[in-house]
Chains A and B, each alone.
Chain A
Amino acid sequence: MRPLLFLVADYANITREGKLNVMGIFNDIYANNFPARHSSMHLVAKLGAELGEYGQTRNFTVKLLDDDGSQIMDVSGQFQVPKGERGRKPEVNIILELKDVVFPKSGAYQFVILVDKDHKGELSLYVNQLEASKPAVE
């Protein structure tokens, strides 16, 4: 599988016609206090199939690692690669809704996607500490 798209957004879905809708792509999260809980985000991956993968079942894992390389969470699943029809190369859309992810501290986090244990892509997510508002000085 070739990675075609890997991003995190507020919301994503796939329509009946197979269109991929993505709303509010972001790379930064801001929080007042840590650990910080992010109520909902959608991780979106679009993968293109190589010849020989058509019609096969593949296993995927998404890991979230912190700035020190410690794993915060992982999600695994399976997908079926469509059969290539009418000379078209099949693509697979993966949407994961991640609820209540807890970020222990501010810093750069990495989402890593693996398909059958092979690394397919990485995505940085920056979790920032909001600065306390300073009192106005006259």
Chain B
Amino acid sequence: MPSKAERLLEKMRNSKSNWKRADLDKLYEGYDFVISHGGNHDIVKHPDFPQLRATLPRHRELAKGHVEFAVKLIDRLLELRKESDG
């Protein structure tokens, strides 16, 4: 059965608009990313794959580009996990 984060990922893959910052936080955290609150923006990093990084604005409303980027980043994470398992 897919996890909450997997279901959220599929929903975001299907529609990139009208998501809130809190939804994106849940998605990233569901895939073990760590969100740190920085100076002007928040920074998202993955502890196992430090090359996977993103920046997030602090607005409640999110531009769809942030959702597109998150989906791409998580797809890359899944590829990297597969490679390291294989």
Contacts and interface: CB of A to CB of B under 8 A. Distances in A.
A118 B50 CA distance: 25
B63 A119 contact: yes
Give the interface residue-count category, chain B. Answer: 10 to 19
A119 B66 contact: yes
Contacts of B8: none
Interface of A: 65-71, 108, 110, 112, 114, 117-122, 124
30 contacts: A65-B38, A65-B43, A65-B55, A66-B39, A68-B36, A68-B38, A68-B39, A68-B43, A69-B36, A69-B39, A69-B40, A69-B41, A71-B39, A71-B41, A108-B50, A110-B43, A110-B55, A112-B41, A114-B63, A114-B65, A117-B63, A118-B63, A118-B64, A119-B63, A119-B65, A119-B66, A121-B65, A121-B69, A122-B55, A124-B53
